[in-house]
Amino acid sequence: MKINTGAEYIESLRKLNPKIYYKGKRIEDVTKHPATSPHVRAAAMTYALSNQKKYRDLATAISHLTRRRISRFTHVHQNVEDLIKKIKLLRILGQKTGTCFQRCVGFDGINAVYSVVFEIDQKHGTDYFERFKKWLRYIQDENLMVVGAMTDPKGDRSKGPTDQDDPDQYLHVVDRRDDGIVIRGAKLHMTGAINSHEILVMPTTALDENAKDYAIVGAIPIDAPGVTLIFGRQASDDRRDKREYIDVGKSKFGVVGGEAVIAFDDVFIPKDRVFIDGETSFTGILVYRFAAHHRANYGACKTGLMDVLTGAVSYLAQIQGTAKRSHIKDKVTEMIHLCETLYSSSIACSVEGCQTPSGAYMVDTMLANVCKQNVTRFHFEVARLATDIAGGFIATMPSEYDLKSEEVGHIVRKYFSGVSEIPVEDRIKIGRLIEAMTGGTAMVESMHGAGSPQAQRIMIFREGKLDEKIKLAKALANIPNKKKKEKKSD
């Protein structure tokens, strides 16, 4: 692995020259800018763990392509054990950063594309698999961070890609040359984009055969000509601009993954970096596999965050003198129960994983969808319970400036204190941490990341094997299975 440590990762970003805007101005160095540096540090943790003896087995793997040791975030799952190790790794990273550490979207994209392009080659005699493996070897050897770029802007949601008034609402090919393709459009909500090395673009939905120009998978360097990024606004981000350390809640790491718009203004992708071009019939399975891998993660990374939140409210209850009250203990118990329930489904969909024709392993898709569907509820319930236990001060307390003020600091200290043994600063810091982890931008990812709740419900219903369940019921109720009448043809 060329980039071996967190510090080397941060250094590697300084060598890139992506065009990134934030609040109307260009960001020159994402590793130093107050809005982006917390996200850089969270992603750096994925590099740092590889070097810690305790986590090396989870954070790294042996490449099936080169037999060299690589970051697990660039690995193609070779067995069920790999799937389980990924889940364990994500929970630990969630616990250590308290936020999204951004590298799994590209990781899941790599795994989905790997298995699907193998099957395309089998059917069409194309050479996508070899092209993809060549690029993947590069990613593994260099240990690069990859944006998993699936979500298109989508414009009018009642219309498909080819029916939009503006064709750029879905990323598409505008020119095909002998040496490659030229693409135009955008991807929204791109986690970790401003601090990644490469973008892996994928279609956002299953496409029909009229939408060949939209059936594109390819890899693009983050600073390729024509690529522009606009970093998203987050709740309370002005607090970071002014470098407030207590009031941001988590000064070291971000609130969410640090999402950006990526606009592609006629970006050229050379042929050896194009992995799907026009094979519309495989877009459904690609989105389906990517989504399942990604949905499995949420019962791991988000449970890491819930561990932090549960710890935060438990300490706050001690500070406020409520820790021994029965309803507080019951609410903390419920938070733990919901968290472990989510983790169980992440582990379960990994244990039930199976091999695809390429040799790569897939999670159980039904259980992965159930996992993510529960995240859209349980994480919110955990946040609700945390807010209940915390009290109203997390929304109303004065700022860090007032705490440190010579004129009014004594008032803040006096009236925001809890039990006398614990300093008032602890209560304020923990309160701000809970505010950052339950409010504003923090929770939206649990609802819409890896697909809105309805996307999981569609898959759950589709994979619910209702015919088999009906047979089970009929067998027990002694109802014979009649053969279906054949339709008469006119």
Ligand X SMILES: Cc1cc2nc3c(=O)[nH]c(=O)nc-3n(C[C@H](O)[C@H](O)[C@H](O)COP(=O)(O)OP(=O)(O)OC[C@H]3O[C@@H](n4cnc5c(N)ncnc54)[C@H](O)[C@@H]3O)c2cc1C
Find out whether 321 and 418 touch, Cβ atoms under 8 Å. yes
Annotate each residue in 438-457 with x if it binds ligand X (CB under 6 A) or - if it does not, as one string. ------xx--xxxxx-x---
Question: In 3-state terms, the chain is what percent helix, strand and coil (to 5)?
Answer: 50, 15, 35
Nearest-5° Cα angle at 371, 461 to 380: 110
Q: How far is the CB of 115 from ligand X (least distance, A)?
A: 18
Q: How far is the CB of 30 from ligand X (least distance, A)?
A: 16
- Considering only residues 339 to 368 of the shown chain, the ones binding ligand X according to CB under 6 A are none
Q: Can residue 458 be called a binding residue for ligand X (CB under 6 A)?
A: no
Q: How far is the CB of 46 from ligand X (least distance, A)?
A: 15
Please say if 294 is a catalytic residue.
yes
Q: Can residue 377 be called a binding residue for ligand X (CB under 6 A)?
A: no
| Active-site residue (options: 191, 204, 303, 356) | 191
- Considering only residues 206 to 265 of the shown chain, the ones binding ligand X according to CB under 6 A are 256-257, 259
| Active-site residue (options: 22, 301, 343, 365) | 301
Please pick, from the candidates 15, 26, 54, 157, the single residue that binds ligand X as defined by CB under 6 A: 157
Count the Cβ atoms, other than its own, within 10 Å of residue 244. Answer: 18
- Considering only residues 69 to 128 of the shown chain, the ones binding ligand X according to CB under 6 A are 105
Nearest-5° Cα angle at 252, 249 to 256: 70
Per rule CB under 6 A, count of chain residues that contact ligand X = 21
Find out whether 270 and 243 touch, Cβ atoms under 8 Å. no
Q: How far is the CB of 304 from ligand X (least distance, A)?
A: 16
Please say if 259 is a catalytic residue.
yes
Find out whether 18 and 147 touch, Cβ atoms under 8 Å. no
**How many Cα atoms sit within 13 Å of 359 on the Cβ side?**
6
Buried b (16+ CB within 10 A) or exposed e, 373-385: bbbbebbeebbeb
Please pick, from the candidates 189, 273, 293, 372, the single residue that binds ligand X as defined by CB under 6 A: 189
Query: What does DSSP assign to residue 155?
Result: S
Please say if 46 is a catalytic residue.
no
Q: Phi/psi zone of residue 277: left (φ > 0), alpha (ψ -120 to 50 degrees), beta?
A: beta
| Active-site residue (options: 39, 172, 294, 379) | 294
Please say if 445 is a catalytic residue.
yes
Q: Can residue 190 be called a binding residue for ligand X (CB under 6 A)?
A: yes
Q: How far is the CB of 169 from ligand X (least distance, A)?
A: 11
CA distance 343 to 445: 17
Q: Which residues of this chain interact with ligand X, rule CB under 6 A? A: 105, 148-151, 154, 157, 189-191, 256-257, 259, 444-445, 448-452, 454
Catalytic positions, please? Answer: 100, 104, 191, 259, 294, 298, 301, 445
